[in-house]
Amino acid sequence: MDRKWLPLTAVLGVAGAAVVTASLWPDDEGKPPLPQTLCQGALSRRTAELIDDDKGGEVSAEEWESKGKSSDYAVFRACSVQRADPDNDYRREIFKLVVADERHDPGSRKDSVPLGPGFKGWALPEEAKAWLPAGCAARMGSTAPYITVTFIGPSKKDEEQEKDSAERDTAIRNSSAIVHEAAMNLARLAGCGAT
């Protein structure tokens, strides 16, 4: 063999070995990679997985939106976050996320805790609400003074909630994290920043 072709032969040999190795490596059974965001870009899959009913299953979302009859109520987006049953195709709802115009400051709920830095809002184990920053309503096409993001989670019986305060605190942290991330991402997508 002519020496000038030796480097090319070596390169082709290494490339061929790489192709063979790549074809032998498992590729997650040929499944396409899952989208990293849910609820029209409001939630990361990781944050959505904070709410778990201990039955497992892959997280997905069913999203919809509706335009109001007037510009006062021009924003309504909702998302049902679901988990797949391991044994069949049934998907069970884990929580909802609703983005909507608000005519009046809805205030806080009894026994709720403040949402924390960055957004005005409050949280309970089964519900949390955040107000998007001033200017977001106009950027989203509404003349209503407020746009809110509401997390509606699974409710438990009062006696179950009273049994374990640590579980209640975890549920509040999770609902806060979900609504806070959703508000932050929606404000960024609308170009109206955070407070």
User: 101: number of CA atoms within 13 Å, CB side?
Assistant: 22
Full-model pTM: 0.75
- Judged on CB neighbours under 10 Å (0-12, 13-18, 19+), 60 is middle
pLDDT at 108: 85
Q: Is 63 in a helix, a strand, or coil?
A: strand
Phi, psi for residue 103 in degrees, rounded to 5: -80, -35
pLDDT per residue, tens digit, the chain (195 aa), is 555 544 444 444 444 443 333 333 233 344 334 457 889 899 999 999 999 888 888 888 998 888 766 666 788 889 999 999 877 778 899 999 999 998 888 788 889 999 888 889 999 999 999 999 988 999 998 889 999 999 999 876 554 545 578 889 999 999 999 999 999 999 999 998 754
How far is Cα 184 from Cα 97, in angstroms, rounded to an integer? 14
